[in-house]
């Protein structure tokens, strides 16, 4: 499966917002366009505005275009607001659940933890980062990765856990207690523009 292997900070600079909550991405000097001098061109057209919003969300959850398109199609078939359903599908990804719980610092570290087989869902190993967690699911870690997860949680001391999950730091487990809502997602994005982009 294809995946982006290039410099991650360039993605933050391209969309103008940090796609990861680490100092390398949140530094003010990094929020100029890529390149030595940055691109100071014309104001983007309507297509460019919608494209940037879509890319912002794609980069934040580290999904490729074809997979993101499938999420949009599934959200449009679901009952309710398409934008809210899209955010719910993306938030429920297993790699994102680990990041929101504070076990890892970035989405890329979460993907690696899942792919390497360190994550259990309801006691069974799951090695797909795109696995969707549901209400009642319990996500735990294998013993050999607990030391790293505890170090990450200590380094993210100011991290706030969203209300749709219950984290137990003692045994490093996460219980999904509700569906995520728009106000519980830390990424600032206009989902209406993303839905319009695919119409």
CATH classification (class only), 8-90+187-197: mainly alpha
Backbone φ and ψ for 44, nearest 5 degrees, come out as: -65, 150
Q: Looking at the chain, which residues constitute the CATH 1.10.1050.10 domain(s)? A: 8-90+187-197
Q: Looking at the chain, which residues constitute the CATH 3.10.290.10 domain(s)? A: 93-178
pTM (2 d.p.): 0.86
- In the DSSP assignment, the letter for residue 110 is H
Query: What's the CATH number of domain 93-178, 1.10.3720.10, 3.90.470.10, 3.90.1640.30, 3.10.290.10?
Result: 3.10.290.10
Mean pLDDT by 10 residues, the chain (199 residues): 76 79 65 64 81 90 92 92 92 93 90 93 93 93 90 81 89 91 85 88
Taking alpha carbons only, the member of 59, 165, 40 closest to residue 106 is 59
């Amino acid at each position: 499966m294809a995946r982006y292997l290039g410099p991650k900070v360039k993605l933050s600079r391209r969309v103008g917002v940090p796609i990861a909550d680490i100092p390398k991405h949140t530094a003010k000097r990094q929020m100029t366009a890529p390149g030595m001098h940055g691109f100071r061109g014309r104001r983007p057209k309507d297509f460019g505005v919608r494209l940037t919003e879509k890319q912002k969300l794609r980069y934040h959850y580290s999904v490729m275009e074809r997979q993101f398109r499938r999420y949009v199609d599934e959200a449009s078939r679901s009952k309710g607001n398409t934008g809210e359903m899209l955010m719910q599908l993306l938030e429920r990804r297993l790699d994102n659940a680990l990041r929101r719980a504070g076990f890892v610092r970035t989405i890329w570290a979460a993907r690696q933890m899942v792919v390497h087989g360190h994550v259990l869902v309801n006691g069974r190993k799951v090695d797909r980062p795109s696995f969707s967690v549901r209400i009642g699911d319990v996500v735990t870690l294998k013993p050999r990765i607990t030391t790293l997860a505890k170090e990450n949680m200590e380094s993210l001391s100011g991290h706030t856990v969203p209300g749709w999950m219950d984290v137990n730091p003692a045994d490093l487990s996460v219980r999904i207690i509700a569906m995520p809502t728009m106000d519980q997602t830390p990424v600032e994005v206009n989902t209406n523009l993303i839905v319009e982009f695919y119409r």
